[in-house]
C-alpha cells in the first residue's frame, strides 16, 4: 500500500489549519524544517510543529534539514512529531547514531535522509533500527523543483538493502513527485511519496492525493 505525505511547504502558512484539513485523506503530513545552514532556505521550527499538533491527528513526518540535528530531537518530539528524519550529511556518524538513540528514548519513529550525493550504502550502519529511509529526488531546500531521474538508482539500491536487512522499514521519496513520476518511484521500490506542489497546486486536492496513490 503506497502512502502519500503532502508537504505543507507548498501550503499557505497564513491558512495552515485550513490547508492541513484539505489533505486529511493522506497518510502522513510532511513538515519541512530548514535552518538556513544545512540548506539555504529557512522555513518552520518547533513552535509551528506544536501548533500543528493541536489542530490535527495526522501522523507528523518531520523532515529535519538542519545541521547537527541531535540538538533538536527532544524538542521536536515534545512538540508532537511522530517521526523525525535526520540527514546523514548533517553530522558525524556517531552524532547521527546519537540522534537515533534520542528518538528511541523519546518514543518517536526514526528515519535518516539522503541528499542526492549520498550513496545508498550510507544507510548500512543504521538500517536495522530505522523505521524509514528518505531518499531525496531533488536537492533539499525548495519545493517545486524538477525530479532527478538519476536518483531512481539510489531508490532501487536502498530498497534492496531494506529488503535484505529490515523489510519493515519504509522507503520515502521527496522532491518532484507528481502523477508522472509517482509510478516510476513506486516501481523502483518507494512506498511513501512526499508531494508538495503536486498536491497544493492542484484544483482538486483529494483527487490529486488519489491520483498519486495510483493502484498501489
Where does this chain touch Zn ion (CB under 5 A) — which range of 30-38, 69-77, 148-156, 183-191? 30-38
Tell me how far apart the alpha carbons of residues 152 and 213 are, in angstroms, rounded to a whole number. Answer: 18
Tell me how far apart the alpha carbons of residues 197 and 37 are, in angstroms, rounded to a whole number. Answer: 24
> Residue 60 or residue 165: which is nearer to ligand DX5 going by CB?
60
Where does this chain touch ligand DX5 (CB under 6 A) — which range of 121-129, 156-164, 169-177, 203-211? 169-177
Q: Which of 174, 182, 190, 213 binds Zn ion (CB under 5 A)?
A: 174
Calculate ∠ Cα 95-98-102, nearest 5°.
Answer: 140
Asked if 61 and 31 count as a contact pair (C-beta separation under 8 A), the reply is yes
Tell me how far apart the alpha carbons of residues 199 and 23 are, in angstroms, rounded to a whole number. Answer: 8
> Residue 41 or residue 51: which is nearer to Zn ion going by CB?
41
**Whole-Å CA distances, 20 to 11, 46, 134:** 8, 17, 22
118 binds ligand DX5 per the rule CB under 6 A = no
Q: Which residue is nearest to ligand DX5 (CB)?
A: 196
44 binds ligand DX5 per the rule CB under 6 A = no
Q: Which of 32, 131, 170, 172 binds Zn ion (CB under 5 A)?
A: 32
Instruction: Classify the C-alpha dihedral 146-148-152-157 as positive or negative.
Output: negative
> Residue 101 or residue 216: which is nearer to ligand DX5 going by CB?
216
What are the residues binding ligand DX5 (CB under 6 A)? 7, 9-10, 30, 32, 63, 138, 140-145, 174-177, 194-198
Amino acid at each position: 500500500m503506497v502512502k502519500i505525505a503532502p508537504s505543507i511547504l507548498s501550503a499557505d502558512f497564513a491558512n495552515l489549519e485550513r490547508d492541513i484539513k484539505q489533505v486529511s485523506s493522506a497518510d502522513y503530513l510532511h513538515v519541512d524544517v530548514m535552518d538556513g545552514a544545512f540548506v539555504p532556505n529557512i522555513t518552520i521550527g518547533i513552535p509551528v510543529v506544536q501548533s500543528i499538533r493541536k489542530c490535527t491527528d495526522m501522523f507528523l513526518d518531520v523532515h529535519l534539514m538542519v545541521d547537527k540535528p541531535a540538538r533538536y530531537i527532544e524538542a521536536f518530539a515534545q512538540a508532537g512529531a511522530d517521526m523525525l528524519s535526520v540527514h546523514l550529511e548533517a553530522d558525524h556518524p556517531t552524532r547521527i547514531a546519537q540522534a537515533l538513540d534520542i528518538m528511541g528514548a523519546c518514543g518517536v519513529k526514526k528515519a535518516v535522509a539522503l541528499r542526492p550525493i549520498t550513496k545508498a550504502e550510507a544507510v548500512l550502519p543504521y538500517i536495522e533500527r530505522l523505521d524509514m529511509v528518505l531518499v531525496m529526488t531533488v536537492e533539499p531546500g525548495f519545493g517545486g523543483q524538477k525530479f532527478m531521474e538519476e536518483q531512481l538508482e539510489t531508490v532501487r539500491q536502498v530498497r534492496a538493502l531494506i529488503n535484505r536487512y529490515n523489510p519493515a522499514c519504509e522507503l520515502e521519496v521527496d522532491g518532484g513527485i507528481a502523477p508522472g513520476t509517482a509510478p516510476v518511484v513506486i516501481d523502483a521500490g518507494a512506498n511513501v511519496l512526499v508531494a508538495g506542489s503536486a498536491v497544493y497546486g492542484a484544483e482538486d486536492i483529494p483527487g490529486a492525493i488519489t491520483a498519486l496513490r495510483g493502484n498501489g
